[in-house]
Structure 1
Amino acid sequence: YSLYARTRLGYLFYQRQVKKARERYPHGHSVPRPYCFPGVKILPIPVLSNNYSYLVIDTGSSQAAVIDPSDPLAVQAAIEEEGVMLEAIFCTHKHWDHSGGNEALCQKHSSCRVYGSALDAIPRLTNPLTDREKVTVGCLTFEALATPGHTVGHMVYVLDGGPFGSPPCLFSGDLLFLAGCGEPFEGSPETMLASLDVAVSLGEDTLLWPGHEYALECLTFASLLELDNSALEQKLQWAVQQRQEKRSTCPSTLGEEQTYNPFLRTHRPELQEALGLWQAGGEDPDAFRARVLKEVRRRKDLYQAT
């Protein structure tokens, strides 16, 4: 991990990833579905082998922001096809598969600003953000939320849907996936739990736009934990069909996620019992939930290794 995140070798590995993905998936790993509300368009851009970048457009002014531009060529192609002006890059964290396109896009778009946490070494960062800080791009308003755990400076971005008659939109990077969450490379289970709680607090109607297409893998794993979860089984069947057709599975909603995502169900007795965990007398509820989260993570890592 340290080699990938903190050295030149990581960047070279990322470049190799990009090259191989362009050859294997010349049109992207998934068929994306643009979401349009009056005045705003959200375009998922499938990049690398399973990443998503997002082009968010103020359709009234043709100003746009991109979240986590992994492959600059794919992002630039979307910008040109949509005929928009790139005003901002929002990076959730420093990892190359989320920030590797910053340099090339900034060279192409000289007025573009790069936003993210000063705690992460984000390439070409121009505007460091603090927790709860807001940024406006045209009529779009994004709020940055500090969500450490995956990296120490990980941030998510929430698009205010109010002006467009849409729900809030959460661009979650590697904090939260459909039925999953990111590895806590730079944080404890307690830190990750607190960050997940920040996401959940946004409300059940919030649309979740994750940084990766991991739905099928995550749902399959979750189904091994909760054998009698009907919502989980229905979502898994849906995801199987979507992925057979190479269709994107995003977005979901935070309300949906709380019915099947084990990383958001640490408070649920059925999951706790399935894991063989019980709260000790006098144990702080959040400390117990962190234990549950740690066990889910341990089992997920074992599942991925098999």
Structure 2
Amino acid sequence: MKLFRYGQRGSERPGVLDSAGKLRDLSNVIADVAGAALAPESLARIAALDLSTLPEVPAGERIGACVGGVGKVICIGLNYADHAAESGAAVPVEPIVFMKATSALCGPDDGIIIPKDSQKTDWEVELAVVIGLEARYIDEANAMDYVAGYCVANDLSERAFQLEGTGQWVKGKSADNFGPMGPWLVTKDEVADPQNLHLWLEVDGHRFQDGSTETMVFGVAYLVAYLSKFMTLQPGDIISTGTPPGVGLGQKPPIYLKPGQVVRLGIDGLGEQTQKVVTYESTL
């Protein structure tokens, strides 16, 4: 099942994609794709509906971030061995954890806004995991019971903010529109193996990233269990699981995003995103 959210930013409504590829409104079924609506019994109730009876979403509506009411976005750094190598870093012996501000979240096709004074805005296609049940001190063996589904994420980064000066990753990851999510929240029953997904990213038609989740250092189940030992995972929380090689920082010489460029990215079975790069000043 593919859930989504549509409408103006801050007032998105819930929706579901039917078997014919039509966008259907879920407002009379759930208040939002958020919180308790992500629990297994809620998802089962939606899956049992005759979707053809639901109202169609009007054409041309903006697609928002596929999850609402997100409490936290937890990111995993250097979680692909070949990406660690291109970054000049050692493969981590345990997950590197940092946070992205929830104010960075946006729709899959919203513009990438280059922050004020930025010279090094970079891209990162990632598999994001959405939590469906509260998880605390859980085991890897049953970690997937707490997952609602998956989505495409672009973990945009400003490398100078991230790595220079005090070198705090959260500063480089949290600018406005640095967290496109979606278009769909794909429920876990539609993903046979989250460790066997092809993911890719292009800038102006040139493919920079072309990898597979099978090369993750730490897999999804391990990450969910690991994180639950340090913080309670709540419904709607997002875990962005790391990026394969091919980021701008890893090019020789490095390449960073410029206004007017178009970024396309996707994960097989989870959908695609398209974003135009704009300046901060153009949004004022």
Structure number with greater Rg is 1
Quick check: which one's helix share is greater? 1
TM-score by length of 2: 0.29
Which structure has more relative contact order (CA 8 Å, sep 6+)? It is 2
Quick check: which one's strand share is greater? 2
